[in-house]
Each structure stands twice: as structure tokens, then as C-alpha cells.
Amino acid sequence: MAVSRFSLEGRVAVITGGGTGIGRASALVLAEHGADIVLAGRRLEPLKNTATEIEALGRRALAVPTDVTDPEACRSLVDATVDEFGRLDILLNNAGGGETKSLMKWTDDEWRQVLDLNLSSAWYLSRAAVKPMLSQGKGSIVNISSGASLLAMPQAAIYGAAKAGLNNLTGSMAAAWTRKGVRVNCIACGAIRTPGLEADAARQGFDIDMIGQTNGSGRIAEPDEIGYGVLFFASDASSYCSGQTLYMHGGPGPAGV
């Protein structure tokens, strides 16, 4: 009975940024627990590669190239999901990212781009996805945020501001939809070994493993470790949990943060 609370048999999950990193890892974890998966992202090839891995687990997968900063594309993604699977039970708003540079080097266009990718995308897609969830009377939305949303990080100011907005939006959506059967939660991630972080480290000339020395675990996370946090929020194991932001960062380090 305890294990069955984590079962996703018969459920369908939409995962943005599903071709790499946290999105890919989460897709595989959810598929291992019974979900069929719709993968969304800008590049088709990584989505197809992840879809192949999901199908090898015996689950169905659909790759849908999607610009999550486009409201119409988000609505089309939801429509494609319902057309293919007949339902939508789980949404993982994982697409996001941003460069690091000093405050005065950002352009106004870059400000809008980072906000659109990390905050507006979740607004567009959650409002589209919640419609079939409300019709079913049940669903779970999980947002991927960042420790940058909780700290003062001048080199990631726009990204941190967008993710802080996502934390707040999580609570507002939960307040609106939980009584109607749709729970909304958030995971604020610390440093994760993803292609995005590795690329940024290469540009900036730092060793990503050194970041992990600042937390209690003394290392950075692997993407599937976040995937199991997603599983908790997506499944009935968290049936009494909504409107929460869980900080998964390896534990407080010597400085207490």
C-alpha cells in the first residue's frame, strides 16, 4: 500500500525541457513509476532520444517541439496531449535557464527573454493545462525553481527574480485550484549537474564540483535526485501538500545556508 502511493499508472505527464537535464531525468523517473510522457522543448532530437528511453521502459511517449514562451504554442501542446492520450494529469514546468553576468551588462531585451522563459512560460502552460485537470477533478502541477530565487545573487539577478516570481505564482495557483482537485508545488534546486550548468561553467572558467563544497552534502546533485522530488509532488504520496516550495540543495553548509 505504501509503495502504491507513488504509482503513476494510467496517468499522463507533460514535461517541458524534457530532452536533457532535470527534464529528461524526471521523465524517466515518472515513466518508471507508470506514467506516459509528453516531452516538450525547442529541439526535437533530444526529445526523441528521451522518448526512445521512455518507450524502452514500456511506456508511451510523445515528443512535441514547443516554444514555451509562446502562449499559443503552450495551448497547442496541451491540445496535442489530450488528443493523443485523452487526459493530462501532471505538468512539470521545467524549461528555464539563463546566463550569469553583472547587472549593468544585461540588455532590456535580455531581461524580457529571461522572464519569459523562466516565469511567463509557467503562467501560459499552467493555465492551459489546468483546464483538462479541472475537468477530471484531479491533477498536479510541479514548477522547477532555483536557489537563486531565495538568495541575493547579482550575477544571476534576472534569473533569480523570475524564479522568485515562480515561487509566489505557485502559491497563488495552489490557492485557486487545490480545492478543485489540482495541487501546485515547486522545487527550488541548488546546483545540479546539467548541460546548462556545465556550459556556463565553461564560459566562466570555474569547476562546477567546487559549488557543491558549499552545501551540507559537499557535492552537487545528479538530475535524477530532483526527479524523485518531482515524483513525490506528482504522485498521491503528496496528496496533502500544495502551495509549497521545497528547497533541494544538499543541506545547509558551514555558513548555515
Task: Let me know the angle formed at the C-alpha of 28 by 22 and 34, rounded to the nearest 5 degrees.
Answer: 135
**Residue 7 and residue 21: Cα distance in Å, rounded?**
23
**Residue 252 and residue 218: Cα distance in Å, rounded?**
10
159 is catalytic: yes
Q: What are the residues whose beta carbons fall under 8 Å from the beta carbon of 102, sequence distance 6 or more?
A: 154, 155
Q: Which residue in this structure is represented by grid cell 513525490?
A: 232
DSSP state of 179: G
- Residues 182 and 228 sit within 8 Å (Cβ to Cβ): no
- Residue in 159, 228, 240, 247 annotated catalytic: 159
- What phi and psi, each to the nearest 5 degrees, are found at residue 145? -110, -160
**What is the distance in angstroms between the CA of the first residue and the CA of the last residue of the chain?**
37
State how far the alpha carbon of 160 is from the alpha carbons of 42, 51, 66, 136, in Å: 22, 31, 24, 34
Q: Which of 131, 246, 143 is nearest to 177 (CA)?
A: 131
Residues catalogued as catalytic:
159
